[in-house]
Chain A
Amino acid sequence: MSKVVDALSILLVLGASLAFAVGVAALGERRDLAALYWLAIGGLVLRAAVELLRPRSSTR
């Protein structure tokens, strides 16, 4: 199970990077709403990757 979670965290980081890239590309195409959407997605997915690594103490 731990390996699966490790693999999931790697996928989340790569997915976040992809979302950031799509957001920046959308910014260049004048699609501001889509850019903000993808940047927000990237931030949230990256946050999820962090939480997978070190959950907060309140959840323990």
Chain B
Amino acid sequence: MSEPGEAPHPLRPPSPAFVSNGQSALGSLRDRANTLLPGLYAWVTTVLLPSLNHGAPNSARFTALLALLALLAAPLLVSARPALGRALGIFGFIGCSLLTWLLLGPGLVQNPGDPLLSALGAVAFTLYALGWGSQRRRGVVPEDAPNVILGAPLLPRSRPHPIAPFVFGLVIASALVPIFLAFRVAEPERSLFAHAAAVLAAILTITVGARVATSLGQRRPFPASAERLNAAAVPLALSALLFGLGFLWLVVR
């Protein structure tokens, strides 16, 4: 990889998609819809609604407005001045939202009876963060970039199994269930523990699920299936023992 700002490769003309072009404001907003839409939803549900409460201080409303301005200005600036656009979109928006929550204090809990709204706001913030990752634009071939290093393409050591994406998607969906359920815990102390346990469970599940999905169908000379089952015998036996104890407890009770 070459550094940004390095001179283009002399043998390869720059692709038109990589040349900076003057985009309209609407086009910039449309191109960054993957960050703008979840950002707007997250702002409305978690920043705007608590700021509209009667007891909310004016300073919190001002920082909420600043967060919205940062959110809207970032896509407009990201083409011409990428560093400033990203700083506004990431640090400006998140920082002003965080400041709003701090200024709101106890008033942040504007509707304790609707944990679904809070959960959806958290998901929207996650999508917003993912949207700021570097992303290939439609129709752009990475090998056409002017700074690409020419040479033989690197071949993958193995191809993933066709059902691997579905398995991984299923694992991600199942890992999100405890995260959503944690929002249903009302008591603050239990809620904190539930959120911590749910996040830890989701991380562990996705980590193991990714390993399972990528190892599907691989022709491994070692270990054999029997050895794999033997290796898993202890945790499986402990699980069965716990299940049995739980069943006994249900019967005795």
Contacts and interface: CB of A to CB of B under 8 A. Distances in A.
Nearest to B167: A10
Given A37-B242, A46-B204, A28 B181 contact: yes
Interface residues on A, range: 35 or more
Q: Name B's interface SS.
A: helix
Nearest to A47: B235
B212 A9 contact: yes
A24 B229 contact: no
Interface residues of B, number: 47
Nearest to A28: B185
Contacts, number: 134
Interface string B140-157: 000000000000000000
Given A14-B171, A37-B246, A44 B198 contact: no
Interface of B: 167, 170-171, 174-175, 177-178, 181-182, 184-186, 190, 193-194, 197-198, 201-202, 204-205, 208-209, 211-212, 215-217, 220, 222-223, 225-232, 234-236, 238-239, 242-243, 246
Interface of A: 1-6, 9-10, 13-14, 16-18, 20-21, 23-25, 27-28, 30, 37, 39-56, 59-60
